[in-house]
Amino acid sequence: MDGSAAAVNESAHPGAMVISLDFELHWGMRDHVDRHSPVYADLAPSRQVVSDLATCFADRAIRATWATVGILFASTREAVDAARPSVRPSYRRSELDPYSEPIGESEDVDPEHLAGSLVRRLASTPGQEVASHTFSHFYCLEEGQDDGDLRADLAAAQSIAGTLGLRLTSLVLPRNQWNSNYASTVLDSGFTCIRGPQPSFGHRARAHEEHGAVSRAGRLLDTYAGTSPPPTTAWDAVVRTDGLCNVPASAFLRPYSPRRRRLEPVKFHRLVAGMRDAARRGRIFHLWWHPHNFAHHPAESFAFLDRLLDEYDRLSRSDGMRSLTMRDVAETATGAVLPKPSWRPTEVDHR
């Protein structure tokens, strides 16, 4: 099925499955989804998906990285106001400015924009890494921002994480807009690892105006008709020459769609092919998605995920495959021992 049955593991490390989730709620879509949209209505219910995914991962001993927008670390508008950076981008496209978005007084009032209880839930769940999706869902390739703006944004992300006793070391750039000119800023801000874009046409880093029907079609085709197996990463390719670790995406777990239900087996077999390739060759398979992707058809989505994790269990037994966070990969690749978060809650709100 995957053409790798005869592959030999020549790596110094066993194969790894990395899962990362872009936890952003409305901050990730506010430029094109308003409060009257049916998509917006899915955001509050998607909070339960976050808790259910964390429980699923803990129960199955799966380690995962949660790239979280910094504003979501807050439970009150007052906490957001205290953390806002004084230096901010001036995007040419004004709809990208997150600081113009109204925020309710508390998480109970505005669960689409504040999620401190959920961040605490993740931080207290075994095997889950709380990481950064920047403070404001920052766009590194859009006009009207620069290195200084990003530096201030990442400082704010670290600061608000620090209020929970967390030190963030992994970073996922919104819309996968990785800008290599900002590598030193990322490192100076305390981050050691990024999730680079998937190496294919549809997924390459690009600004908004470069996105179009062709790139969207490329991403859709990649799910069902892309190269098989999907790209995986060699361990010796993780550490860049500047010292930053890159764990690029291998595949996006596209949400279940009734219209494409006949293609679900194709999607499944392609993802399994990537996992098997990584296990047998001692490489890294990096799967990512957004928690809200599971909100519309949760039963089908969780059933699909369970089947993937069943395959991981088989590969763990047969080939020694490991479940790792992005932070784990950076530590393994560099041989460094990074500081661990010290915060431990005495009581967790499972809201």
In a domain, 8, yes or no: no
Cα(279)–Cα(27) distance, rounded to whole angstroms? 35
Q: Tell the residue number behind the tokens 């110094």, with chain if given.
A: 12
The pLDDT score that the predictor gives to residue 3 is 43
Q: What is the pLDDT of residue 223?
A: 56
Query: How far is Cα 305 from Cα 325, in angstroms, rounded to an integer?
Result: 17
Place of tokens 């239900």: 261
Q: Please tell me the predicted confidence (pLDDT) of residue 348.
A: 37
Residue-by-residue pLDDT tens, the chain, 351 positions: 444 444 567 667 999 999 999 999 999 999 999 999 999 999 999 999 999 999 999 999 999 999 999 999 999 999 999 999 999 999 999 999 999 999 999 999 999 999 999 999 999 999 999 999 999 999 999 999 999 999 999 999 999 999 999 999 999 999 999 999 999 999 999 999 999 998 865 445 455 655 555 455 455 566 556 667 899 999 999 999 999 999 999 999 999 989 988 889 999 999 999 999 999 999 999 999 999 999 999 999 999 999 999 999 999 999 999 999 999 999 999 987 555 544 343 333 333
Query: What Å distances lie between residue 240 and 64, 147, 234, CA to CA?
Result: 22, 20, 12
Task: Supply the pLDDT for residue 347.
Answer: 38
The H-or-E segment that residue 53 falls in is helix 43-59
> Quick check: is 210 in a domain?
yes
**Residue 209 is part of a domain; what is its CATH number?**
3.20.20.370
Asked if the structure places residue 5 within a domain, the reply is no
Domain count, the chain: 1
Closest CA to 119 of 265, 21, 242, 188: 21
Closest CA to 19 of 305, 335, 318: 305
User: Looking at the domain assignment, is residue 346 inside a domain?
Assistant: no
- Tell me, yes or no, whether 349 lies in a domain: no
Query: Which domain does 278 fall in, by range?
Result: 16-334
Determine the pLDDT at residue 159: 98
Residue 239 lies in a domain: yes
Answer whether residue 257 is part of any domain: yes
Question: According to the model, what pLDDT value does residue 345 have?
Answer: 37
- Is 284 inside a domain boundary? yes
